[in-house]
Structure 1
């Protein structure tokens, strides 16, 4: 547990304490008020869109819709609270039960902030702390189901102001990166962790586990480092290299092989992007593959460059 985890635990503890102080009635109504406002904003923000704002049109509309919805729900909440006698608010059972909505509220904030920590590019030291945070990593996965709703609202504005920080996986088209990392750092600790994740997926599908091949690891690391150094993201390097000749140049003997590449702020986000892609999932769950080399290079604020090379 590092200081990122401590911050998230403190937020959860504070929310539980606030729930106790407010009591169940007030805490539950407050929770319904702000979560309801967000839900209404997702459904209605398109009506408030001002096209003249360009890439900020949807984010501004979403914020406006949230404020309006929160004001209306707060008005209704106040009407309800006016009818509740003070003696009921001060009741010991009501106070104790306030822990329940407090815990729910804290969990929501923990998930939102933990996800935000994993998605925002911090300084190198802070980025490492976030990646090593158990709670932040789990939070990043926990909010994945919201991505389809959140991304359309903020995609254009985020792309205009920050480097891309969600999981990016390989496609047929090469990508020119808007940054360069001259001296990325190898992360063997994360490579071991990713191997565990891959084998857990294979175990769920009753497949034999993959074993690490050190020669393939070296090939994978070199490719991840090269993509950072030459500012590209592709299976094909600017000098004409491809997965097959890289493996042969690394003196790896194989009859069949496959390659996955990804760039993300955490290995959990990267893995989710890969496993959700049919072609990359096929490599991970290929019953003919028994060896793997995982090369993870840390680019600081620019995230992790990940290459997975599979072989029979």
Structure 2
């Protein structure tokens, strides 16, 4: 079917007079269509960025932009289900990358910062807890709080995941959070 359409369009294109093809009107029309195509591609990129779970101020920058904000607004108004489709795709990707607490599955991390760049980000930890509690409250689960005694164990596991390029509740040796907490408690008792 595609070959037939291509051949028919080729026949039509050969029938167009050269004078019309090289005319100023055709050049302006081509430029206008290319500009519109560029705006559509930029708008799609902006929509993708606005639905991704990104850190930093990129989403706020888009919302404050004199050009990006109207483009995203027009896409929301006239683009049909584009944003909801992108939202659904993002949710599916997040589900795909979510490791359930009881699971022994792991996600291999492809990009890992150098060890020297790993730092504690207490503000992000607090923000993550707020988001977790928001989701827990939606399903009627109890609110979680930070236990300062287990924070070092959690941070050590986080560092281990980055350094050894995996993401899981269970480390490659098969130890879960309870095992790590028990090891820390044993080490603390030995130090006394």
TM-score range, shorter chain: 0.3 to 0.5
- Return the structure number with greater strand share: 1
Higher relative contact order (CA 8 A, sep 6+): 1
